[in-house]
Structure 1
Amino acid sequence: MNSLIVGAATVLVATYVGVGALLYTFQDRLMFQPGPPPPPPSETPAPELTPVTVTTADGLDLMSWYAPPPPDGRGRVVVYFHGNAGTLADRAHKARALLDRGLGVMLVGYRGYNGNPGDPSEAGFREDGRAALAFLEAQGFGPEQRVHYGESIGSGTALPLAVEAGAAAVVLEGGFTSMRAVAQGQYPLYPAGLLVRHPFDNVAAVQSLKAPLLVLHGEHDDLVPVAMGRRLLEIARAAGNPRAEGVFFPDGNHVDLIEHGAMERLVRFLDTLPPPPASAPVIPGGVAR
């Protein structure tokens, strides 16, 4: 009997360790899921977007998609940091909604995504975001005219870069407290704090955020619990953020908030902010280095 118990325990421990080793080894494949190179913007709902090349500090030439705001628009550019799966083309319908509301759009192209060179990582995404912001700066759009939009894992780049470089506002769609917390929720038997290589700690970032914050989250989000969105909002307010608001959609999940009026709520939020200073946008299509 004792030998059976010992044998069963040995199998359980070996299985536990083996699965943990697989999760640790292949976590990047679980966390980052790029799609194939996208079609040109002309074949998407937002054909006015233009492919532009930005060069990162570590020497990668990355493609993003960009369209400035119209002359009679709101004078702001939404810097869109997308989620962990798919391509820029998968966000073209959201770009369409933003463009139709008088906003410019920069769909940030990450390393390893959209046919771009490099391997995805938390540090790499932040370098990619810095290069995109440098491009916009060269186009005449400073922090007061840039709205950081973080979709899911993109929240982990949008937030810290807003703290670092400034922003007119930050919008989080399905944002999490940290990737470690998400992983702990999905794999509760494992010590996520020790295993996750890309923590994307939004708690630390939101505590230092001075820009207005809008949290958009679905009550039925089955990937990032709505409690995480509420927690980020709570932390921002406790840290003294002068303007932190949340919209929690009763029927929304992780990927369908646009269908529940998210863009209307975003524009309503931006319209209550002080108007941005005038800019002198450059014709798109350049290369930022």
Structure 2
Amino acid sequence: MSATRYLLILPPMAVVAYVALAGLIYLSQRALLYPGAGATPAPEHASWGETVHIKTPDGEMLQGLYSQGDSNKPCVLLFFGNGDRLDNYAFLAQALTTRRIGLLAISYRGYPGSTGSPSEQGLLTDGLAAFDWLSSHGGSEIIVLGRSLGTGVAVNTAANRPAAGGVILVSPYLSVLSVAQTHYPFLPVEFLLKDPFRSDLNIGKVRQPKLFLHGRLDDSIPLSSGQALYRIAPEPKQMLIYDGAGHNDIFNDSMVGDVIRFVEALKGNRL
């Protein structure tokens, strides 16, 4: 093939390749966004807490782990990240237990131990169902904690359940849409994305005390995205930035200590 002929067909070939790439990402986006779904089944014996099952309004059954604290202490409701699982949080349950604080963590629909398939609407429904279950079973003040993808679930839950006593957002984002635009600037993600998780549209309704935690070295959800959400969040609020932390190494003794101090301060209406 001559060089001239090659140059003549290159633009159409590039367009075809671009459209094929966009189509592939569109079709596989939920597998990319929810990598923990359909993963290795939950272990037969829980690494912490009691195994519970929560029925959602749309008929799914969620598996959770529940460590009950003292009735006069808050209980933390945890929504984990997109590639996470329940048995990874024994360290947090243990740290909270030493302070007699409870913990409920749920496995989203489609994740190990739970029925269904994940989607934004599905996960938001799961969050509200978990809050309502805990509210009817625990009797303690509920502090909502979201990590990474789970911050979108946490924001929506707190916005729709004003009875929540406080909100902790670990590695939060303005929206999944904005994060996708950062990672895929060459694609029209605003037209392709099925699950944009617009925390920016919900955070204004979250009037409870809020603690934002973010690693300065986070290359999955940029610090700038978390800071943008913090700026538009109503008071009361506080943000802590960990200089040496990224996305997956943010949970350390110092950070867990900050979480516990925030939770315990809420009992006295202090931020």
- Using the size of structure 2 for normalisation, the TM-score is 0.92
SS in structure 2 opposite 1:232? helix
Q: Is the 8 A contact 1:41 1:89 kept in 2?
A: no
Conservation of the 8 A alpha-carbon contact between 2:131 and 2:157: no
Whole-Å separation in 1 of the counterparts to 2:144 and 2:247: 19
2-side partners of 1:103 and 1:130: how far apart? 21
- Once the two structures are superposed, what CA deviation does each residue of 1:176-223 show, in whole Å capped at 9, x if it has no partner? 111111111111100111111001011111122101110000000010
The equivalent of 2:19 in structure 1 is 17
1:239-250 matched pairs, under 5 angstroms: 241-250=234-243
1:88-110 residue CA offsets vs partner (Å, 9 max, x unmatched): 11222222222223210000121
Distance in 1, matches of 2:161 and 2:32, equals: 30
Among residues 26, 29, 42, which one is paired with 2:28 in the alignment?
26
The structure 1 segments of at least 4 consecutive aligned residues displaced by more than 4 Å after TM superposition are none
**Cα distance in 1 for residues equivalent to 2:172 and 2:22:** 26
Q: Which residue of 2 is the match for residue 194 of structure 1?
A: 191
Q: Which amino acid aligns with 2:132?
A: A
For 2:127 and 2:154, locate their aligned partners in 1 and report how far apart those are by CA, in whole Å: 8
Give ranges in structure 2 of 5+ residues lacking alignment.
Answer: none
Distance 2:175 2:45 in 1: 32
Equivalent position SS for 2:107: coil
Whether contact under 8 Å (1:249, 1:260) holds in the other structure is no
Amino acid at match of 2:199: N
Q: How many residues align?
A: 264
Give 1:31-180 correspondences, 5 Å limit.
31-34=33-36, 35-40=39-44, 42=46, 44=47, 46=48, 49-70=49-70, 75-141=73-139, 145-166=141-162, 167-180=164-177
Instruction: Tell whether the 8 Å contact from 1:149 to 1:173 is kept in structure 2 after alignment.
Output: yes
- 2:252 is paired with a residue whose SS is helix
Identity %: 30
Partner Cα distance (1:155, 1:113) in 2: 17
* Cα distance, 1:103–1:274 mapped onto 2, change above 3 Å: closer
Write the letter of the residue equivalent to 2:17. T
Q: Go from structure 1 to structure 2 and tell me whether the alpha carbon gap of 1:155 and 1:209 turns closer, same or farther (over 3 Å shift).
A: same
Distance 1:128 1:105 in 2: 16
* 1:54 to 1:209, Cα distance in 2 relative to 1, 3 A: same
Q: Secondary structure at the match of 2:63?
A: strand
Counterparts of 1:105 and 1:6 in 2: how far apart (Å)? 63
Summarize deviations over 1:109-142 as a string: whole Å, max 9, x none: 2110113110001111111112211211211436
What CA RMSD, in Å, does the superposition of the two structures yield over aligned residues?
1.7
* Unmatched 5+ stretches in structure 1: 277-289
Give the 3-state SS of the residue equivalent to 2:89 in structure 1. helix
- Tell me the residue number matched to 1:287: none
In structure 1, distance between residues paired with 2:208 and 2:82? 25
What residue number does 1:256 align with? 249
* TM, length-normalised to structure 1: 0.86
Secondary structure of 2:144's aligned partner: strand
1:232 aligns with 2:236: no
Deviation at 1:10, TM superposition (A): 1.1
Where relative contact order (Cα < 8 A, 6+ residues apart) is larger, the structure is: 1
